[in-house]
Amino acid sequence: DITGSGEIEEPFQSLSYSYARVDKQSLAQILVQSGLFNVSYITLNSAQVLIQGQGYHLSALTNEIMPNEGMFWLQSGVIMHFEDFTLIQSQCKNKEAPMFEVGDGAKIRIQRCNFRSNHIDKMPDVTKDFYNSPIIRIIRGQGGIYDVLFFKIYTSGNSPIQILQGIDDMNWDTTDLTARLDASKAQQAATTYQYKTPNKFEMKNCTFKQVFPYKGNSPSAGPPAIPDSITLADNERHEFTPTIRLAMTPRSTFN
């Protein structure tokens, strides 16, 4: 990185170093060239930035360097436009390491991207392959996801897309629908006047193809008590893991 100038003839070699060098006082533009790039954890604060690839078929990002930390954390004051990439989900045991985390006061626009796992030709081994963290988690953030394909996404611990615009008091450890609805009503009543600024998040023209929830089974000396759920038919699986998880308040909207 230190030998590059940041110009197209002498680019920086990593996205994290490029972000560290751009001017945070004005709109920063980071253009990523063709290739597969390993991205370490990047924290963004009070910045406006456009990160653009050469196209989803040419520019790809993965986070194998720090899979248990995530990829991007957008804090208050950040406005990010993120376009034209393939993003490859790495295996992760940590349940709190989304690839994109958008916090209160931050805005993001993801457009013309392809999200996929690093298991394309075969199913993951449920005894050692874990995808516990979500891909995108919005916590009181704003923005949208447009023209995006989610392909061969595996989730062993969390919903891959989480839009959390209010305090989530739902009991996700039970499959009892009545208990979930009661918790949801309590949440709505508690947060009606908690937030005064309306928040909006939307998803348009998004395609989900082959999204697989499954339970990871740790290896043991004896035979498994239950069959590996990833090999069961959809109507026989015992998980309750929605692809999109919502926690809304009357002062927030999701389209």
Pull the structure tokens for residue 63.
């986070």
- Strand pairing report for 72-74 and 107-117: unpaired
- Contact of 202 with 255, CB cutoff 8 Å: yes
What confidence score (pLDDT) does residue 3 get? 59
Higher pLDDT, 246 or 219: 246
Give domain limits for the chain. Answer: 15-254
- Strand pairing report for 244-247 and 161-164: parallel
Instruction: Write out pLDDT tens, residues 165-185.
Output: 865 545 555 556 677 677 767
> What SS3 state is found at 21?
helix
* Verdict on whether the full-model pTM lies above 0.75: yes
| pLDDT over 90 percentage in the chain | 37
Question: What is the SS3 assignment for 155-166?
Answer: ECCCCCEEEECC
Pull the structure tokens for residue 96.
């709190």
What confidence score (pLDDT) does residue 10 get? 67
How confident is the prediction for the chain on average, in pLDDT? 80
Over residues 210-216, mean pLDDT: 75
Instruction: Write out pLDDT tens, residues 19-73.
Output: 888 888 888 999 999 999 999 899 999 899 999 999 999 999 998 888 888 899 9
Q: How many CB atoms are located within 10 Å of the residue 127 CB?
A: 13
**Res. 204: pLDDT tops 70:** yes
- Contact of 171 with 136, CB cutoff 8 Å: no
Q: In this structure, what are the phi and psi dihedrals at residue 7, rounded to the nearest 5 degrees? A: -85, 165
